[in-house]
């Protein structure tokens, strides 16, 4: 997997070991039973900020061993006014990162997740936004738990 990431010049310079690429303010949102299985991380947002300053960029990619290998995580306020922004970020991620780096290898398993900031989740389960997020498989989580 690391070789595939390194093959993408846009991401290569942003690769860090473990969770080092995750901003300190966001680290409490990531939980792992065995941190040794967290191979590397990339701050995708920072990595693309110069080349695409006005894009709706996704936050992070964490690569683990076993099971799901690529974990794309967006730490973002989870209110109804943010739903369209996060969906736009997912579309950007799918086009700019998954559609290029990951497209070459169909066997890579990955998960895309939205994690709420410390303000919590403020989207009613009966709302149109909630149903839209469910359809997108993007319901916000309180924290991201690695299953490896």
- The one-digit pLDDT tens for each residue of the chain (148 residues) are 555 555 567 777 888 999 999 999 999 999 999 999 999 999 999 999 999 999 999 999 999 987 678 899 999 999 999 999 999 999 999 998 888 776 655 567 889 999 999 889 999 999 999 999 999 999 999 999 997 7
Residue 1 · residue 63 · CB < 8 Å: yes
| Residue 8, both tokens | 């993408």
Task: Find the Cα–Cα–Cα–Cα dihedral 53, 59, 64, 70, rounded to 10°.
Answer: -70
pLDDT at 144: 96
- What residue ranges in 3-104 does DSSP mark as E strands? 15-17, 30-32, 38-43, 60-64, 70-79
pLDDT at 127: 95
Gap between the Cα atoms of 23 and 124, Å rounded: 29
pLDDT at 84: 95
Q: Where do the H-state alpha helices sit in 42-146?
A: 44-49, 83-93, 128-135
Kindly report the pTM of this predicted structure: 0.91
Domain segments of the chain: what residues?
2-146
């Amino acid at each position: 997997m690391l070789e595939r990431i390194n093959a993408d010049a846009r991401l290569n310079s942003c690769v860090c070991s473990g969770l080092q690429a995750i901003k300190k303010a966001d680290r409490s949102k990531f939980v792992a039973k065995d941190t040794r299985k967290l191979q590397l991380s990339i701050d995708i947002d920072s990595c693309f900020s110069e080349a695409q300053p006005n894009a709706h960029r996704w936050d992070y990619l964490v690569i683990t061993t076993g099971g799901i290998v690529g974990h794309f995580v967006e730490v973002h306020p989870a209110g109804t006014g943010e739903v369209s922004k996060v969906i736009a970020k997912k579309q950007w991620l799918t086009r700019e990162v998954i559609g290029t780096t990951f497209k070459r290898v169909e066997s890579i398993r990955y998960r895309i997740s939205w994690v709420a900031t410390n303000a919590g989740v403020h989207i009613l389960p009966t709302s149109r936004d909630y149903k839209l997020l469910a359809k997108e498989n993007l319901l916000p989580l309180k924290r991201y738990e690695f299953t490896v």
